[in-house]
Amino acid sequence: MARILGIETSCDETAAAIVLDGRHIEANVVASQEAVHRETGGVVPETASRLHLRALVPVLEETLARADRDWREIDAVAVTHGPGLAGSLLVGLNTAKALAFARDLPFLGINHLEGHVYANWLVDSAEPRFPLVALIVSGGHTDLVLMEAHGRYRRLGRTRDDAAGEAFDKAARMLGLGYPGGPAIQCAAEAADPQRYSLPRAWLKGSYDFSFSGLKTALLRTVQSGGSEPVVPDLAAAFQGPTCPCGRAFRSSATSPSLSRRSACAPTTRP
């Protein structure tokens, strides 16, 4: 069985994990930059890369300590090589290459989106069976993919403009709910009336594609329109429903354990 050290620095979180045989997580450490980027309402690429430089070595040391492993027990080094923010990616890539070279270990460059899909194997339940359909939803990507076997993919649909995560962040900013937008909108929408406002759906009929630009524009016009003060919780609920039309269909399938950190509601206030 192979024990692999994985490094992830594609955006705003510095992460490392030790995984045994592709399924069993022995240690997983994440250094979040959320508090820093909340001040600017979004990820500033230069700031993100500098924070990765500070955090990566401590994160690696803590990962090895939590797993109670040393370098002699590591069989390979894997790292996200893209897509992502160029500066952030370079931090992880150069560190992983240096470690692999210094320790004479195999070096594995991993596609960021493929990593999202394979996170579904890092659970205690039964291994996913092929063929399967994977919905990839992140800050910069929204794709619907048919996976016929390991390493065999066929894109069924994708966003034609913005990604779902970006749409949530911008919508939350319009509503004064703070950053990151996903959990902020989810919490605001709890016990709200999703029928109070009518917004267009993100799913494009007759295809498996999505479009979020029109939905964002409709939300902005509703917020800026005259009349009574918009009811923020109801607007959040109205936005969340059309943004996630396919999410309900996938609730019964396996979900990425990497997403669980952002699922809990936290108090949010309007500035």
Which residue shows structure tokens 């690696």? 60
SS3 163: coil
pLDDT of residue 140: 85
pLDDT over 50 (residue 270): no
Helical axes 86-103 vs 45-67, angle rounded to 10°: 30
Q: Give this prediction's pTM.
A: 0.84
Using one digit for the tens of pLDDT, what is the confidence trace for 103-125?
999 999 999 999 999 999 998 78
Helical axes 164-175 vs 213-224, angle rounded to 10°: 0
Name the β-bridge partners of 27. 18
Which residue shows structure tokens 């390979």? 76
Describe the strand order of the beta sheet including 107-111 as a list of residue ranges: 24-32, 13-20, 3-8, 76-82, 107-111
- Look at 241 and 24; give whichever has higher pLDDT: 24
Cα torsion through 243, 248, 249, 251, rounded to 10: 130
pLDDT of residue 123: 83
Residue 123 corresponds to which tokens in the numbers above? Answer: 């659970």
Q: Which domains does the chain have, with CATH numbers?
A: 3-121 (3.30.420.40), 160-262 (3.30.420.40)
Using one digit for the tens of pLDDT, what is the confidence trace for 13-36?
999 999 999 999 999 999 999 999
Using one digit for the tens of pLDDT, what is the confidence trace for 123-157?
878 899 999 999 998 878 999 999 999 999 999 99
* Residue range 252-264: mean pLDDT, rounded: 36
pLDDT over 50 (residue 253): no
Residue 88 corresponds to which tokens in the numbers above? Answer: 């952030």
Describe the strand order of the beta sheet including 142-149 as a list of residue ranges: 132-137, 142-149, 152-158
